[in-house]
Chain A
Amino acid sequence: MTTFTRLDRSVVGSWWWTVDRWTLVAVGLLVAMGGVMVLAASPAIAARLHLDSFHFVRRQFMYLPMAVMAIFAISLLSPLWVRRLAVVSFGFFSILTIATLLVGPEVKGAHRWLQFGSFTLQPTEFLKPSFAVVAAWMFAEQRRSDEIPGNLISIALFVFVVSLLLLQPDVGMTLVVSAVWFAQFFLAGLPIIWVVMFVVVGIVSAAAAYSLFPHVASRVDRFMDPSGGGNYQIERAMEAFQTGGFFGVGPGDGSVKRQLPDAHTDFIFAVLGEEFGVVICLFVVALFAFIVLRGFSRLLEEKNFFVVLAAAGLLIQFGLQAVINIGVNLRLMPTKGMTLPFISYGGSSMFALALLMGMLLALSRRRAGTGELR
């Protein structure tokens, strides 16, 4: 099964014995499924965009091995190095995010992308996991000693990140980042009275987003009143699941991918439902649930508070992204452009998830000791 013995004390050898192999297998399955799905869904999109039919496939199959390598490489790091990596990447991608506001092209009314030749980069995708780790560090420091005002720093960083996101504007990502940050704060021992207050603030800000951003308002309105029309993508997605039934119409035989402009990204789950059936969809949901819940249960044994907070933040972000994407596809939530981790097409999202998963695997590696970081 493996060529590593427990005697092997090399970096890779000790990695193999300490890493969470079950999660590794689940991630591997997701990545493989992503490969299949980009083959199934993207040629139709490419044809519509008058691109070569394997345009997206070629790109994704170039990214996939790189992403797998990145996961592996990052998961070799120790928690301390994960923290260092997160701090560096947080700083780096903050600068890039500021750059999007200044030099990024406007796409559909928002500045979210940086253009490098034929490739585009969305720095906020990378900012998300980095920020989760940095915030976890600050919360943990606050608990460890009174010398560092961790909570205050964390709040300041949060305000900074959210301001950047709202300036783009990217309300959906703001929501995710806020939810993750708040969950970490909650885990870090935020008093219940503050929890209530934050929830109130959250509701107020959601209402503010509704009244300030017209596209948010229209999406929510259309979700609340489906009869009003304009839910073209969602209606097609619903039909796709119904057409697919339990066992699907067969790979490549679906039609929803020709009707949905975002079939290879935000609505890939509907394509999966139509062509592979609800049984496979349930399997995918189970994979996500497995990764998140197994991660949580492993954290219950973790002794280092920073690791708990950071890993929990990453897990929550990963799970939230999956839940929101699938929820939108199943019309349980208003439309929100969010990719399905490892399955949707997209370079930025793929590498950001590799960063996330790499850090998560690194943090969740089995370590002996009292919980101090080395």
Chain B
Amino acid sequence: MSELTWSTKSPRPRITLTPSLAQNLPDDNHMALRLEGSAKETLEQGRNRLVMAGVIFAICFIALASRLIGLAISGIGDEEVIASEADAPPPVATTESKRAEIRDRNGVLLATTLTTASLFADPKKVLDPKEAAAKLTTVLGDLNEATILSKLASAKNFIWLKRNLTPSQQYQVNSLGIPGLYFREEEKRFYPMGPLVSHVMGFTDVDNHGIAGVEKHFDEQLNGSGERASQELILSLDVRIQHALRDELSRHMSIFRAIGAAGMVMDIKTGEILGMVSLPDFDPNRPGDFSGDAKFNRISLGVYEMGSTFKTFTTAMGLDTGTVGLNGGYDATEPIRKGGFRIRDDHPKKRWLSVPEIYMYSSNIGAAKMADEVGPKRHKAFLAKLGLLEKPSLEIPEIGAPILPPRWNSLETMTISFGHGLSVSPLQLSTGIAAIVNGGNYIKPTVVRRDSEKRTAVRQVISAKTSDIMRRLMRLVVEKGTGGKAAAPGYLVGGKTGTAEKAVGGRYKRDALIASFVSAFPMNDPRYVVFAMLDEPKGNAQTHGFRSAGWTAAPIVGRLISRIGPILSIQPLDEESEAIQKAMFIPINSREKKLASF
């Protein structure tokens, strides 16, 4: 190109007007000038307005640019979101803070949240699925090569391979250097106590939503999503008690080859549950590996005909309503025949029995007559006050409702008096017993620590006087009656056995028993209710083949109280001392005393 040519020979267009346009011009010179002026003005105005439009556009482009920069900056610091697909699981609920911890009453950690890495793949980016699968199985042994391959063959661009890897597993997977594999940080609920607190604790799903136990009941607070977000949850449980309870139960469960066992320890003054165990149990760290039976809470969800332990309620009712006195009694010579049923005693004395004798020897006939005298109406009302006829409230979702008889007449009152015809949960039974021995106050049970001063929902069920007599009667059962094996020297244990045939398919199964023992200690000033139950125990040589509660369930309570008494700071007493003997004295009006040879 040549600059020199520009000034002389540029292809400049001609300036002259074309003839056609010239013809259109007005003849008048003046007119032409005016038009020219107006055209200039128009052009000038157009240019000014063009500048305005340009400014508006410039502002628009600047807005776009600043928005772009803003977005890019907002993305920095975020975790790298490599892929999020509509079918990917929803993000972990906890955003700022992790799900709150759960501790026992002494601050021992029961549940916490760990940050782990979860492995996922974008199958489209995995170059060699076969090699990837083979390599992965060398590191993650529990993964199956075929399963990985089928996952990598999927058309999705996000697929979980394994959730919650350990740091060393994450390191090893990274070392494999397989393209298309990614980690996402997730939170994993961890239960350091394992199966020890399984049923009360419950568990969470992979996305940290509580789906059982207190994890479910307090899900919102724990996740910090509800209004009442909490830092941590303190349970009423004491892991030391829990451990002793679980230990004794599982030992006796295997000794008596029972299919299940359950027990609980409850503070009768506050309603706090210090221990609650149902066996078989599960590890909340891997709930998927356990059967439904293992997750079944026999204490709160299971309802059973509890058998003779109910005579405690019957006796308290008789005494409290005044239909019978402590010296009164009923004739238990002959079995009762009523409506095609025969009510008889297991160990018939075949004579008149006083109230303490009826309770001590666990006479069905005596209890039935005692309840019948009170009448079905008052019987029902009394049990209702003890919370036995409605679903109890507790801070776990696994709560069973009692099964009431379809009718409740004289016959039903008679059978219920000794614990048949009405199914309640062991939780209800223990809460009722607590009310009987604590001075007559029904206190709602809880698995959350309560301030001991703050009592909740107290209602008077029986008089303090009746409660005092019931303590002595329960002590009598352990001292001289069917519950001898529940004795724990120094802890003044009192209680009542209950052996019931399991009702299966509307018929009682003779060879399947529910053997239970409900107790309280120390009986001069009861502090704790202890309950133990074996599901279908079998007799052995040591029990001479017996499998009734006195032989199977009572020993659990005796051994357990010896273990937990010191933990609970209960001073051992001299049971033989005069003061104790006096406090526990109960006059037994036996008309055939002279015939008694023992």
Distance (whole angstroms) from the CB of B68 to the closest CB of chain A: 5
A282 touching B65 in the complex, CB below 8 Å, given contacts A6-B1, A245-B76, A289-B57? yes
Docked pose: A332 CA to B54 CA in angstroms: 20
Inter-chain contact A258/B157, CB cutoff 8 Å: yes
A14 touching B46 in the complex, CB below 8 Å, given contacts A246-B72, A289-B61? no
Residues of B within 8 A of A286 (CB): 61, 65
- B2 close to chain A: CB less than 8 A: yes
- A227 close to chain B: CB less than 8 A: no
B 55-73 contacts with A by CB, 8 A: 57-58, 60-61, 63-65, 67-69, 71-72
Inter-chain contact B49/A278, CB cutoff 8 Å: no
Distance (whole angstroms) from the CB of A331 to the closest CB of chain B: 8
Docked pose: A282 CA to B60 CA in angstroms: 13
Inter-chain contact A332/B67, CB cutoff 8 Å: yes
Inter-chain contact B50/A259, CB cutoff 8 Å: no
Docked pose: A183 CA to B54 CA in angstroms: 11
Select which of B17, B42, B68 is within 8 A of A330 by beta carbon. Answer: B68
**How many chain A residues have a CB neighbour from B under 8 Å?**
63
- B150 close to chain A: CB less than 8 A: no
Docked pose: A14 CA to B13 CA in angstroms: 11
- A255 close to chain B: CB less than 8 A: yes
- A9 close to chain B: CB less than 8 A: yes
- A102 close to chain B: CB less than 8 A: no
- A367 close to chain B: CB less than 8 A: yes
Inter-chain contact B83/A255, CB cutoff 8 Å: yes
Inter-chain contact A368/B57, CB cutoff 8 Å: no
Residues of B within 8 A of A5 (CB): 1-2, 5
A319 touching B42 in the complex, CB below 8 Å, given contacts A241-B72, A327-B64? no
Majority secondary structure, A binding face: helix
Docked pose: A332 CA to B11 CA in angstroms: 48
Residues of A within 8 A of B1 (CB): 1-2, 4-6
Docked pose: A288 CA to B81 CA in angstroms: 30
- B10 close to chain A: CB less than 8 A: yes
Residue of B nearest to A290 (CB): B61
Distance (whole angstroms) from the CB of B57 to the closest CB of chain A: 5
Stretch at the interface among A30-38, A186-194, A216-224: A186-194
Distance (whole angstroms) from the CB of B487 to the closest CB of chain A: 67
From B9, B46, B75, B85, residue with most partner A Cβ within 10 Å: B46
- A305 close to chain B: CB less than 8 A: yes
Residue of A nearest to B82 (CB): A255
Select which of A7, A243, A308 is within 8 A of B9 by beta carbon. Answer: A7
Inter-chain contact B72/A242, CB cutoff 8 Å: yes
- A157 close to chain B: CB less than 8 A: no
Inter-chain contact B68/A281, CB cutoff 8 Å: yes
Q: Which 4 A-B pairs have the closest CB atoms?
A: A242-B75, A278-B72, A289-B61, A241-B71
- B53 close to chain A: CB less than 8 A: yes
Contact bitstring B29-65, A, C-beta under 8 A = 1, else 0: 0000001001100110111011101100110110111
Residues of B within 8 A of A273 (CB): 68, 71
B 102-141 contacts with A by CB, 8 A: 122, 124
Docked pose: A314 CA to B29 CA in angstroms: 36
Distance (whole angstroms) from the CB of A13 to the closest CB of chain B: 8
Q: How many A-B residue pairs have CB under 8 A?
A: 153
Q: Could you show 8 A-B contacts with beta carbons less than 8 Å apart?
A: A2-B1, A14-B11, A187-B53, A242-B78, A277-B72, A278-B68, A286-B65, A316-B57
Residue of B nearest to A143 (CB): B42
A308 touching B46 in the complex, CB below 8 Å, given contacts A187-B53, A241-B75, A278-B68? yes
- A76 close to chain B: CB less than 8 A: no
- A239 close to chain B: CB less than 8 A: yes
- B6 close to chain A: CB less than 8 A: yes
Distance (whole angstroms) from the CB of A327 to the closest CB of chain B: 7
- A118 close to chain B: CB less than 8 A: no
Inter-chain contact B85/A259, CB cutoff 8 Å: yes
- B504 close to chain A: CB less than 8 A: no
Residues of A within 8 A of B80 (CB): 243
Inter-chain contact B43/A303, CB cutoff 8 Å: yes
- B569 close to chain A: CB less than 8 A: no
Residues of B within 8 A of A108 (CB): none
Contact bitstring A208-237, B, C-beta under 8 A = 1, else 0: 000000000000000000000000100000
Residues of B within 8 A of A258 (CB): 124, 157
Docked pose: A257 CA to B67 CA in angstroms: 21
Inter-chain contact B63/A332, CB cutoff 8 Å: yes
Distance (whole angstroms) from the CB of A284 to the closest CB of chain B: 10
Inter-chain contact A312/B50, CB cutoff 8 Å: yes
Contact bitstring A294-306, B, C-beta under 8 A = 1, else 0: 0011011001010
Residues of B within 8 A of A243 (CB): 75, 80-82
A305 touching B42 in the complex, CB below 8 Å, given contacts A6-B2, A300-B50? yes
Residues of B within 8 A of A332 (CB): 63-64, 67
- B168 close to chain A: CB less than 8 A: no
- A353 close to chain B: CB less than 8 A: no
- A106 close to chain B: CB less than 8 A: no
Residue of A nearest to B69 (CB): A278
Residue of B nearest to A253 (CB): B125
Distance (whole angstroms) from the CB of A49 to the closest CB of chain B: 13
Contact bitstring A246-286, B, C-beta under 8 A = 1, else 0: 10000000010011000000000000010001100110011
Residues of B within 8 A of A373 (CB): 21
From A277, A305, A367, residue with most partner B Cβ within 10 Å: A305
Inter-chain contact B78/A326, CB cutoff 8 Å: no
Select which of B6, B14, B50, B58 is within 8 A of A289 by beta carbon. Answer: B58
A 1-48 contacts with B by CB, 8 A: 1-2, 4-7, 9, 14, 17
Having A145-B24, A189-B49, A296-B50, one finds 12 other A-B pairs with CB under 8 Å, namely A6-B10, A14-B11, A183-B53, A189-B46, A242-B81, A245-B72, A278-B68, A309-B46, A312-B53, A323-B61, A326-B64, A330-B64
Inter-chain contact B17/A187, CB cutoff 8 Å: no
Distance (whole angstroms) from the CB of A260 to the closest CB of chain B: 12
Residue of A nearest to B22 (CB): A372
- B542 close to chain A: CB less than 8 A: no
- B84 close to chain A: CB less than 8 A: yes
